[in-house]
Structures are given as C-alpha cells and as structure tokens.
Amino acid sequence: MTSTSLSSQQIERPASAPSSRLQGLRDGKLPRRLAVAALVLLLAFLSLYPLSMLLYGSLHTTPPGIPGTFDLSGYRQVLTWPTAVLFANTVGISLLKTVISLALAVLFGWIIARTNTPARGALEVLITLPFFVPPILTAMAWGMLGNPQVGVINLAWRWITGSDNALVNVYSYGGVVWHMLQYSTPFLFLFVVEAFRSMDPALEEASRMCGASQWRTFRRVTFALMLPAIVTAFLLSFIRGLESFESPLFFGTPAKIEVITTAIYNSIHHQSIANYQFATALSFSIMALMFLLVLWQWRLLRGKSFQTVTGKGYSPRLIDLGPWRWLTFGLCVAFFLISVVLPIGQLILGSFFQFFGFYQWDMLTLEHYRSVLGNSEVWRAFRNTFLLGLVGASSTMLLGAIVAYISTRTRWAGRQVLDVLAWLPWMMPGMVLAVGFLWGFAFLPSAISIYGTIWALLIAYVALGTPIAVRVMSAAYRQLSFDLEECSRVHGATWWQTLWRIMIALAWPSFAVGWVLTFFGIMRELSASVLLYSVGSEVLSVVLLRMWENGQAETVSVIGLMMMLLVFVFRWVQLRLIKRYISTL
Amino acid sequence: MLTKLKRTALAIGLTGLLASLAFPASAQDGGWDSVVAAGKKEGKVVVYSMALGAPYYLAVLKSFEAKYGIKVESLDLRASELAERVRTEQAAGRFLGDTEIITTTMIEEQRKTGDYIQAVGTIPNVKNLRAPFKATEVSVPAYVQPMGILINTRIVKPEDEPKSWEDLNDPRWKGKILSDDMRPLGSGNTMFAILQKKLGAAFNEKLAEQKPVFSRDMRNDARRVARGEYPIYVPQIFAFASDLKGLPVKVVIPKEGAPYAMMEFAMLKNAAHPNAARLLINHFLEAESQLLYANGWMLPVVEGVADRANDDAKAFANAKLMGPALLEERPAMMELAKKLYQ
C-alpha cells in the first residue's frame, strides 16, 4: 500500500549547505539542531541514565557504591539451559496472549468504530474497564471464580452437569494467558479503535465498488491501512507480555510455571543476598530480543505510507451490518460479561461484605467504604497520585507528541536516535528499571535534589510513559497525509501554526487516548513508586500495597472500584469530545 | 479494631505524658535524661519499616508522638526494597533514615555486606527483655512473628486436626496442603529451614511427597483456605490470622513449637536524629507498646506482657518458639528446597 502524498523531505525544502553558524541560524537549522540535542539529552537522562546504572550492575559483582570487580558472571548465569526454558516459556505465553488479544481487539475495534452495532458508545467504555483495575484484584477475583476446587464457575458446572471434574482451572498456562488477556485486549482495543476511526471509508468503498467482498476489503484495505497501528500495538503488547508479572506469579506459581519476570523477582526480592547482577543481565538479554523486534517493526513499516487522513474531507460512515449487527453486539456483550461482569461483579459484591466470598447476611457491611472515605492517608495519596497523574501524563504526552512528530514527520538529523531513546524504558522490565531509577537518582551529585522528593516519582513516570506516548502519537501521525501540512504552509501558516492547527488538531483523539493510558499507568505504577516515594509523597499504589499486605483486600477493592468510576468519567468526557470533534470535521 | 487501637494508643500517650510529669527528670538516669532532651530537640525521627502500615505499629508510633511530641516519619517498604534503599542511600552518602525495624538476619546481612549501621547505645528498657531475647551492640529486639498451621474448620474435623508439624505428613493431606513457596526467601523457606533443623531431613522429604501446592500471596492464601479451596495452609503467621475472625479458620500452634521471624531495631549510620531514634526504640519496649503487638497475635519481647494479652491472643503471645533461621544456612536451605520441590 503506497500513497501519492508528498514526502516530508519535500515539505522541509532542504536548505543549501550552511557555510557558517549565522547561515545555519538564518536557515533555522541551528535552533532545530539545538532543539533535537536538548531532546536527546532529556531522553538520555530519562532512559539511558538509569539503564547505564543497570548496565554497570550487570557487569559488576556488586551494586553501585560497593567495592567489587567487573565480570560477566551475570551473563554466564543467563546462558544456561534453565534460563533458555524460561525464555521459551515467556515468549510462548506472551505470543499466544498477544495474538489472541490482537485478534479480539481488531474485531472489537472494527465493530465499535466502523459498524452500526447497537450501543457502541456504551460498549466502547465497558470493554476497556478491566485494563484500569489493579491486576492483583482481578487475580483474586479470577482465583475465586476459576479455582478447580470451589470456584464459582466450577461449582455451577458441576451443579448443571453432575460432573465431578472442573471445567476451568485458572492455576495453569491457560489461566496465566487468560489473566493477561484481561489487560492486553482493552489496551490493544484502545489503540486500534482510534486508528479505525481516523480511516477514510472511501478507500473501502472503492474496494467494494471494484467487486471485492466485505472480508477481502477488510483484509486487503482496512487491515493493511491499519498496519502501523496494529504492528505498534502488537509490539507494545508482546513486549509488555514478556514483562508481565502478576499473572505468572499468581496463576503460574501453583502450576510450577516460571517466566523471566518471576525469575527476576526471585533474584531481587527472594534471594539470601539480592542478585542484581543476574537480574540486570537477564533484563538486558530480553532487551536485546525486544530490540530485534523493534528493528523488525521499522523494517516492516519503512518506505510505506499509511496515510488515510488527507486534505480531502470524509465522513466516517458506518457499515450497515443488517441483522448481523446483533451478532456483533452479542460478541461485545459476551466479552463484557466474561471479562468485566464476572470479575468486577465479584469485586463489587465483595466490597459490601466483611470478607470476599462469604456472602452471608450477617457479614453485610459498608465498613470498607467508610474506612476508605474516612482515611486521610488514602485521600492524601489520591491527591498526590492525581497531581502526578495530571502533570505526568500531560508532560509525557507533550514530550511523546514532539518526539513522534520529529521521528515520523521530519528528516531531521538525530530523529532515529530520539525514537530509539524513547523506546528504551519499555524494553526493560519495570521492577528492574525501578532499581535503575533508585540508583540513578541516589548517585546524582548532592546539589541535584531529586532523590527523596516527589520529582523523583514524576521523572520516573514520564520516563516510563514516554514509550507509549511516542507510539500512540507516531501511529496517529503516520495516518496524516503530508499534503495537509503543505496546504497549510502554502496558505501562509507558520510552522508552529501548522503544527497546532493541523497536526495537533487532527491527532488529538490519539493524544487523548495516550493521555488516558499514561494517566492510569501512573495511577497503577508500583515498582518505581515503592522504591522512590518518600514520607508525604505516598501514592495510591503504595497505599494499596500497604492495605493488601495488611489483609485489607476488600478495602483495596473499594479503591479499585473508585478508580474504575474515574475511568468511566474520563472515557465519557473523552468520547463526547471525540464525537463532537468528528461531527465538526 | 483500628478505633480500639487508636484509643489504646491515646491512653498510652496520655499515661506517658502524666508519668513524665509525675516523675520528672530527676527520677531517671541522668544520661537518659539528656537523650530525652536531645531527642525532643531533634523533633523528628525517620524509621524504615517492613510493617507496611500495620495498625499495631501505627498505634505505637502515635503513642510515641503523643508522649514525646516528636514526629515520626515512617517509610514502609517490603524487606528487599528496604534493604536496597538503605544500602543505596548509605553508599550515596544520603543519610535520610535514622532507624530501621527489620529481621535479625537482614541486620546480620547488612553487617556482612557493608557499613550501614551503628551502635544503638543505651536503651533503658532493654533490661526488661525476656529470655531468650537479647539486645546486641547494634540491634534491639522489637517483636516476634511466629508461624503455625492454618486449618479450615468446616473441612477438617476436630479429631483430624493436625497437632504437630509431623501430622502434615499424614497421607490424608496429600495434595491438600497450600503452602507459601518454600524455594525462594520468605516465610515458606524460613519454616522449611527451621523444620529441617529441628525435625530432621526426613520430615521435609516426606512433606515434599505430600505435594503441597505453592503460592506467593500470603494474605490471600489464608482466605483461600477459609473459602475451602484447601483444608490446610502453612506457614500461617499468627498475626495475619488475627483479622480473620468470623471465618471458618483456626490457627494451630504445633506442639513442637512455632518457627518465627525476629524483628529488631538497628540504628542507621550517620542518623540525623539518633536520640529521637533511641527514644523510639525504648518506647517500643514499653509494656503498653508490646501489649498492642501481643493483642495482634504476636509474641512480645519484654517480661510481663504475654499474660496481659486479650483472651484470644494469650495462646499466641505465649507460644513455644522454634528457631530461629540462621543467615549462614540460608543458601543451602534454599538450594535444598529447590531440589525437593523441582
């Protein structure tokens, strides 16, 4: 699939070779270079600096600050048969869950954005809900639903069929994959649905008019044009799958399933003396694997254009499915019932009883709600998290939007460096990168007071969120035709005006999705938070951890449900704004 | 429970305040008076703790603040995170913490791997420690977390209840024991190591043949037993079952004794508020502070407290102990557990 759009090189109108700095300044090259250099430095501080601390950790027998020697023993430990089995396990689980969830996400994205399926607006919000619930809560809920002994699903199955066997067992490979799907499907859906929305249906109509069937059109036109978004989503999800921790820990441990993250967790948290050398060496090994995937993505997308938003106006007309729309409606509802109603229903029900799973009249209580609403620590953490979320998500998206713009819309020198730097934090498992931040901030010169302040959290959140921000915005920019920018410039708009009135205006639905993902990523982030928080700067995830460790699962659920309510509000506002925006397009 | 604890904490604080008014400085050791004065002048103490906001811990801190007017900043972290934060801060010359409450083995480990802690100095209430607990130059016992066996009372008939650790190896429990993972460092491995030492290698070999199912979420595991997923869970930290009242579970203290984790105070090197930290350590050893822990089903470390505990807590506060796990044995025990539970 190619396009006849102008290349950005043409838009840039390359200047003649500068003969002097003044000439460069006149051409606008020097400010541009300075801006790129500043961005490179910023991203290097956010990603390379903590990674360099970890690299030191992987090559040194002791962590920073302790005398030791440089050696490769960490990497030697990685190059063993048990670790190869771990790799195979991890890649297999991640690949399976990514393929299934991507298929589901594309299906749901298409249904919601491109068909006349009933109640699409409500379904769009509902399908994404599980993504925003802390995994530990859904793990508990699925443990109650799907344990082979007394799980609700199995009890119902036995009652209906009279069988002695269990229908499902969440403590298995299937259970690990299933729990991961709860998160990756809504995550991918959020990516894909926006890409579907910003596609000009005229291309599909042309295909249909040329005699292609609906399926062929979907495969050859719709899916092909969605490639950047799909490939990006696939990569993000696959990488996240490799780094997934809660699902294998809770559902894999009883079934003796070990993956890379549980091995890292053990070597950091459950060794007689924390083995950072092995943990970091293992993490860098996965990083190498991930880097190969990113190279594959670049190769796949290089030289192709996926521009679907052009200067030509379009109206995103919906495909009339006729009576089939009830089937698509049924599919969405079925997914919603299984992935949302079953586990979240358990959480809602449990939050009104003294203990989860003991639904007796004498245990009915509102105490968990009262204890949350009356807990000043929770409110302080909520304020801190909300503030960090607002500032962090906005800064991250702004940074991501700029980096994505430079790497996808310009031919500026250094743009690829920016792209690579922005990817890096995503490639390092969160719990290891958190240690990199701890070491990095603590060993800064004492005049730079980041360690032990709320700034440490904010910087870590921006670093952790940047890869998503850049990916979301890159996928959005790739769909915008270069002629839009050219028209704007031809009509006398400045570069900034063009950026603001064209690029940002057209890409902001994706910006909004990225913002929500980043905001809730910050709300849920634990690994870095727990290592970097200080007294007074407690965040919600740290308070939730404390409550969980104190056996207050029901209170944690109440907070989880409040977070979901927040998601409802955010998504509702976001979708209303998008709707208004599209109606005025 | 929290309200009750708050009330108790306030009572302790007021009692302390009245006591300090009734028995002015002259009644106390002159040296300690200067510690009190210096501590109050410091006005703050930063404590690194593994308690993760446990109500009894917060109640003790509250009573300390009420008694001395010294603000306590408690940074709650999990064991490994706490150890790494202390190590990193000390190595980077950022001396933010004053004192820590961690396990004895972690303190030994800190001494072995670096220079992070300093002498605690004189703590008057150390004289009240009960046997076998002893303070050292660098550590002062704070409380003890013993572990036993949790059973589901609806599934396990009274006559079938395990009374000893050996009873877990009864063939009827094969495949029916849920356990904290014994391979990595944690409560499961602590139990494994202590039982290996006290009951012999044959015990753990037979237990492995019982095919216990491992899990890594202690708080939720007790509830899984309560819901009937498994009839038995080991090792059950007594204190973690104290808030499960009303559920069909019971903690059995095995006749051989309860393996335990010893929690101790240590003073961090270059502490900015060393006197306030000493006051806090001393306050933890007050009978009223220890009583809060005893009522939370933990074992107090000072004399005369266990028998004052609430009726439901008395048995746990007086439990026979088994252990402790030793730092030098850890790697071998983890290796052995890995071998037995491949």
Distance CA A288, CA B141 (A): 47
Query: What pLDDT band is residue A47 in, cutting at 50, 70 and 90?
Result: very high
| A375 interfacial to chain B (CB closer than 8 Å) | no
Q: Which region among A443-457, A491-505, B30-44, B169-183 has the lowest average model confidence (pLDDT)?
A: A491-505
Distance CA A468, CA A516 (A): 11
CA B312 to chain centroid, in Å, comes to 19
Question: In a 3-state reduction of DSSP, which class is residue A60?
Answer: strand
Say if CB A343 and CB A131 are below 8 A apart.
Answer: no
Mean pLDDT of B94-120: 93
Of A566, A555, A577, nearest to A511 by C-alpha is A577
Per-residue pLDDT at A1? 35
Say if CB B45 and CB B277 are below 8 A apart.
Answer: yes
Say if CB A404 and CB A473 are below 8 A apart.
Answer: yes
Nearest to B215 among A149, A253, A271 (CB): A253
Say if CB A475 and CB A445 are below 8 A apart.
Answer: no
Mean pLDDT of B330-339: 93
Q: Is the pLDDT of residue A489 over 60?
A: yes
Per-residue pLDDT at A303? 60
Q: Give per-residue pLDDT as tens, A315-351.
A: 556 788 889 999 999 999 999 999 889 998 888 988 9
DSSP class of A480 = B
Among A303-307, A434-438, B230-234, the range with the most confident prediction by mean pLDDT is: B230-234
Q: Give per-residue pLDDT as tens, A146-177.
A: 999 888 999 999 999 998 889 999 999 999 99
Per-residue pLDDT at B16? 47
Scan residues 127-146 of A and list those with Cβ closer than 8 Å to B.
140, 143-144
Distance CA A201, CA A191 (A): 19
Q: Give per-residue pLDDT as tens, A458-485.
A: 999 999 999 999 988 988 887 777 777 7
Inter-chain residue contact B94 with A442, CB threshold 8 Å:
yes
Q: Give per-residue pLDDT as tens, A213-235.
A: 877 887 788 777 778 778 888 88
Which has more pLDDT, B148 or A164? B148
Scan residues 190-229 of B and list those with Cβ closer than 8 Å to A.
213-217, 219-220, 222-224, 226-229
Per-residue pLDDT at B5? 47
Residue A32 structure tokens: 């541009």
Inter-chain residue contact A65 with B91, CB threshold 8 Å:
yes
Mean pLDDT of A25-39: 80
Q: Measure CA of the first residue to CA of the last residue in chain A; give whole Å.
A: 25
Distance CA B66, CA B14 (A): 7
What are the sequence ranges of the domains in chain B? 2-144+262-317, 146-260+320-340
Amino acid at B236: Q
Query: What pLDDT band is residue A5 in, cutting at 50, 70 and 90?
Result: very low
Scan residues 436-495 of A and list those with Cβ closer than 8 Å to B.
438-439, 442-443, 446, 451-452
Amino acid at A217: T
Q: Which residues pair with A309 in a beta bridge?
A: A480
Q: Are strands B99-103 and B44-49 parallel, antiparallel or unpaired?
A: parallel
Q: Give per-residue pLDDT as tens, A267-287.
A: 888 887 889 999 999 999 988
Residue A269 structure tokens: 């948290």
Longest dimension (CA), chain A: 87
Q: Are strands B140-152 and B258-268 parallel, antiparallel or unpaired?
A: antiparallel
Distance CA B117, CA B269 (A): 5
Residue A245 structure tokens: 């921790």
Within 13 Å, how many C-alpha atoms sit on residue A243's CB side?
24
Nearest to A439 among B77, B88, B114 (CB): B88
Which residues, other chains included, contact A437 with Cβ-Cβ below 8 Å and sequence gap of 6+?
A50, A456, A459, A460, A463, A528, A531, A532
Per-residue pLDDT at A2? 36
Radius of gyration from C-alpha coordinates of chain A: 25
Q: What is the mean pLDDT of chain B?
A: 90
Mean pLDDT of A174-203: 86
Which residues, other chains included, contact B270 with Cβ-Cβ below 8 Å and sequence gap of 6+?
B90, B95, B118
Q: Which residues pair with A319 in a beta bridge?
A: A115
Instruction: Measure in Å the smallest separation between the Cα of A67 and chain B Cα atoms.
Output: 9
Mean pLDDT of B116-120: 95
Query: What pLDDT band is residue A512 in, cutting at 50, 70 and 90?
Result: confident
Q: Give per-residue pLDDT as tens, A77-100.
A: 999 998 999 999 999 999 999 999
DSSP A27-56: HTHHHHHHHHHHHHHHHIIIIIHHHHHHHH
Of A49, A135, A474, A110, nearest to A321 by C-alpha is A110
Inter-chain residue contact B331 with A266, CB threshold 8 Å:
no
Helix, strand, coil in percent for chain A, rounding step 5? 75, 0, 25
Among A251-255, A306-310, B316-320, the range with the most confident prediction by mean pLDDT is: B316-320
Per-residue pLDDT at A43? 95
Query: What pLDDT band is residue B51 in, cutting at 50, 70 and 90?
Result: confident
Q: Is the pLDDT of residue A582 over 50?
A: yes
Which residues, other chains included, contact A568 with Cβ-Cβ below 8 Å and sequence gap of 6+?
A125
Q: Is the pLDDT of residue A19 over 70?
A: no
Question: Could you give the ipTM of this predicted complex?
Answer: 0.81
Per-residue pLDDT at B54? 87
Scan residues 518-557 of A and list those with Cβ closer than 8 Å to B.
530-531, 533-536, 542-543, 545-551, 553
Give the chain B residue whose CA is nearest to the CA of A435: B84
**Region B146-260+320-340: CATH code:** 3.40.190.10
Distance CA A560, CA A356 (A): 14
Q: Which region among A131-135, A217-221, A308-312, B154-158 has the lowest average model confidence (pLDDT)?
A: A308-312
Distance CA A163, CA A148 (A): 12
Query: What pLDDT band is residue A313 in, cutting at 50, 70 and 90?
Result: low
Q: Which helix (H) or strand (E) holds B130?
A: none
Per-residue pLDDT at A550? 83
Among A290-299, B45-54, B154-163, the range with the most confident prediction by mean pLDDT is: B154-163
Distance CA A227, CA A106 (A): 11
Residue with tokens 């290097």: A44
Mean pLDDT of B249-270: 96
The fold adopted by the segment(s) A35-66+84-583 is MetI-like fold (1.10.3720)
Distance CA A228, CA A305 (A): 9
Longest dimension (CA), chain B: 66
Q: Is the pLDDT of residue A50 over 80?
A: yes
Of A43, A47, A45, nearest to A35 by C-alpha is A43
Give the chain B residue whose CA is nearest to the CA of A357: B227
Per-residue pLDDT at A311? 55
Q: What is the mean pLDDT of chain A?
A: 85
Per-residue pLDDT at A308? 56
Q: Is the pLDDT of residue B30 over 70?
A: no
Residue with tokens 């013993």: B146
| B334 interfacial to chain A (CB closer than 8 Å) | yes
Of A245, A276, A236, A297, nearest to A426 by C-alpha is A236
Distance CA A295, CA A308 (A): 24
Within 13 Å, how many C-alpha atoms sit on residue B51's CB side?
25
Which has more pLDDT, A517 or B41? B41
The domain B2-144+262-317 is placed in CATH, from the list 3.10.180.10, 3.40.980.10, 3.30.565.10, 3.40.190.10, at 3.40.190.10
DSSP class of B301 = S
Within 13 Å, how many C-alpha atoms sit on residue A93's CB side?
31
Bond into B124 cis (ω within 30): no
Which has more pLDDT, B70 or A377? B70
Per-residue pLDDT at A441? 94
Inter-chain residue contact A356 with B223, CB threshold 8 Å:
yes
CA A521 to each of CA A173, A456, A512, B213: distance values in angstroms, whole numbers, following the listed order? 26, 16, 14, 33
Say if CB B288 and CB B225 are below 8 A apart.
Answer: no
Q: Is the pLDDT of residue B19 over 50?
A: no
Mean pLDDT of A437-443: 93
Which of the residues A535, A542, A544 would you substitute to probe the B interface, choosing the one with the greatest number of B C-beta atoms within 10 Å?
A535
Strands (E), chain B: 44-49, 71-76, 99-103, 117-118, 140-152, 177-180, 213-215, 232-237, 249-252, 258-268, 321-322
Burial of A534-554, coded b for 16+ CB within 10 Å and e otherwise, reads: bbebbbbbbbbbbbbbbbbbb
Indicate if B146-260+320-340 has the same CATH topology as B2-144+262-317.
yes
Inter-chain residue contact B84 with A274, CB threshold 8 Å:
yes
CA B188 to chain centroid, in Å, comes to 15
Which residues, other chains included, contact A104 with Cβ-Cβ below 8 Å and sequence gap of 6+?
A181, A185, A188, A189, A335
Query: What pLDDT band is residue B249 in, cutting at 50, 70 and 90?
Result: very high
Q: Is the pLDDT of residue B281 over 60?
A: yes
Q: What is the total residue count of chain B?
A: 342
Question: In a 3-state reduction of DSSP, which class is residue A93?
Answer: helix
Scan residues 143-202 of A and list those with Cβ closer than 8 Å to B.
143-144, 147, 149-150, 171
Inter-chain residue contact A438 with B84, CB threshold 8 Å:
yes
Query: What pLDDT band is residue B20 in, cutting at 50, 70 and 90?
Result: very low
Inter-chain residue contact B243 with A551, CB threshold 8 Å:
yes
Per-residue pLDDT at B7? 57
